[in-house]
Amino acid sequence: MALVIAGERSGVGKTTVTLALLASLRRRDRLVQSFKVGPDYIDPMFHQHVTGRACRNLDPVLTSEAYVQQCFALHSQLSEYALVEGVMGLFDGVKGSREWGVGEEELITNAQCPMPNAQCSTDFASTAHIARLLDLAVVLVIDCSRLSGSVAAIAHGYQSFDARIKIAGVVLNRVGSDRHLSLLKDSLESLQLPILGVLRRQDNITIPDRHLGLVPTAELRELNALINRLADLGDTCFDWQRLLPLLKSEPLPYPPHHPHLPHPPSLVRIAVARDRAFNFYYQDNLDLLQQLGAELVFWSPLEDARIPKDVQGMYFGGGFPEVFAQQLAENTSVRDAVKTAILKGMPTIAECGGLMYLCEQIIDFEGKSWPMAGVLPTSAVMGGRLTLGYRRAVALQDNLLVKAGTTVYGHEFHRSHLTLTPTQPLFETSRYDCEENMGCEGWGLPANVHASYVHLHWGESGEIPQQFLKECLKVASSATWI
């Protein structure tokens, strides 16, 4: 059981519908586990704020199909209800898989193209792919703001495109009036497709966004009021009699994912930067560090006066350091402490926003320059160009996390670029869905640093956190850092 909330395209209101469902369930004191298809960080923050439980990403590119099944089985069984928010349109995915070198004909065969003799790419890692992997029914969200009778053509197309996808019903979003709703219902009647929800055009429910998507939860002062309005919406706009049985979480046949991880000989304390500037972390990565015996010490490079005491490693996730560049720059004691610790040899992971913080400076969208930690001899410059996509990255040298020649799969999503490229880069990168070379990137000098724009999910790569903690233990016995 459980449901997938899918859209007929991006921007139709999947997140609003998902949050309204989650908020209404929590108002009823129901225990619900949420999931998000794809590599997104921000939507899961909203899920977690509503449910009180960490949202889990389901992404077979960053992990594997088996991991997606195991992750869902493990976490969905710990709650009464489970809900998966999709990504983009239902069938929007990437071409190919990790089987490099296969021909076009094989790719189409692997995709099990639902339209015989058609030239179509795969929908690998799409919402439809996840629904098939988990054998879950789909609720299709349709933006009705600019259509009436045509809604039936859209619904019929999605219903019939792939016979393996079970469309449980539709949610009609942005309905303008009773007359508008009547036209929509009349058009859909012949399809015998249940209408599971009707959302009118909402002027009082808006989640602000900016250059990388929604504004994260930590920055929204009126977030609780927004969630209450979403709960009100959920209480009144859905057919709960039909929805609740579909949302019920039941045991699944996939064995839960319990990685066989060695326990370290002693406890390692890792300083994890988590505040409004740095908050892009996959919960599974943090879980893996803890399962390996690490103690995670959360702290704020924005607010704190110093690095946490007695730590043997640092982890800077992605986020929005460019938005808070002035405040980061003004916290000179922390900037100096971070640089000193790294130059003394403290193992440090810095992904995307973390990489930017380790640069000499960040130059913001207005061209203003703000000094940062100064570990890397380059500057991060904000611009209008968006770098986005999955990456296949091959390690060019032994580094803090992986050995030379190791292939990892990650995701880039940023609007900054560096003024200088590293002389000894960490990775040679390619697009995931073709062999287009994306160049070399990543800083591994000093050798105790892993600084890269590529976000990694460690779910299928337990050796990465193991290697990181091994290096932390190695240096912990030789010096006192803080």
Catalytic (active-site) positions: 352
285: which DSSP letter?
H
- CA angle at residue 70 from 283 to 315, to 5 degrees? 20
Adjacency order of strands within the sheet including 81-89: 56-58, 32-37, 81-89, 3-7, 137-143, 167-175, 195-200
64: which DSSP letter?
-
Longest pairwise C-alpha distance within the chain: 75
Helix and strand totals (H; E) in the chain: 14, 23
Helix (H) or strand (E) holding 319: strand 318-319
Looking at the DSSP assignment, which residues form a beta bridge with residue 197?
171, 238
Can you say how many angstroms the Cα of residue 422 is from the centroid of all Cα atoms in its chain?
27
For tokens 């110093």, what's the residue? 306
114 contacts: CB under 8 Å, gap ≥ 6: 161, 162, 163, 164
Sign, CA torsion 99/105/109/112: positive
**d(C-alpha 58, C-alpha 55), whole Å:** 10
CA-nearest of 142, 43, 18, 20 to 90 is 142
Centre a 10 Å sphere on the Cβ of residue 275 and count the other Cβ atoms it contains: 18
Yes or no: say if 426 and 452 are a contact pair by the CB < 8 Å rule. yes
